[in-house]
Amino acid sequence: MVTSLIMEERIETTAVKAKAIRPLVEKMITLGKKGDLAARRQAAAYLMTDEAVSKLFDTVAPRFGDRQGGYLRIVRTAWRKGDGAEKAFIELLGSEQVLDEKRQKRAEIRAKRAEETRKAMEEAEAQGGGAAEPTEGGEKKE
């Protein structure tokens, strides 16, 4: 779960789990701020993927260079329907910009796909009905 939080920068889980992983993630960020080889090896021993280690040391830890702690935010959201557990988002501070950029990219991709689909539909309509379509004078095009 610590690896997922570092990779995604925001995850939804139960409030109890969010409170439990907070000290673990803060320790990983502190290791990332140290930046030496020993810290990198300690983080690699705990985190599941090499991508998470590199993201921790390259992007996440430098973001908190001047901060002495409190790297996470827990936002309680709702109650889970099945068992009534309280759900919460746990996120890294400063991830708002990253999440906004991701949303922007997704919106651009969706708009591009919609435009491509619209063009493909117009081309299909033009090719399918264009040969026997009557003109204004009542004659058929060939």
pLDDT digits (tens, 9 = 90+) for 14-70: 999 999 999 999 999 999 999 999 999 999 999 999 999 999 999 999 988 888 888
Report the pLDDT value the prediction gives residue 127, as an integer from 0 to 100: 86
- Note the pLDDT tens digit of each residue in 103-113: 888 889 999 99
Full strand arrangement of the beta sheet holding 86-92: 10-14, 86-92, 72-79
pTM strictly above 0.75: no
- Choose among 94, 99, 91: nearest CA to 10: 91
83: helix, coil or strand? coil
Residue 89 β-bridge partners:
12, 75
Token duo for residue 95? 């991830």
Token duo for residue 42? 């300690």
Token duo for residue 77? 């959201």
Token duo for residue 90? 């746990």
Report the pLDDT value the prediction gives residue 65, as an integer from 0 to 100: 84
Output the average pLDDT for the chain. Answer: 87
Residue 128 — very low, low, confident or very high, per pLDDT cuts 50/70/90? confident
pLDDT at residue 135 greater than cutoff 60: no
Number of other CB atoms surrounding residue 66 within 10 Å: 6
Q: Which residue has the higher pLDDT, 72 or 136?
A: 72
Residue 130 — very low, low, confident or very high, per pLDDT cuts 50/70/90? low
Phi, psi dihedrals of residue 94, rounded to the nearest 5°: 85, 0
% of the chain surpassing 70 pLDDT: 87
Report the pLDDT value the prediction gives residue 141, as an integer from 0 to 100: 53
d(CA 136, CA 85): 68
Stated as kind and residue range, the H or E segment containing 87 is: strand 86-92
- Note the pLDDT tens digit of each residue in 18-29: 999 999 999 999
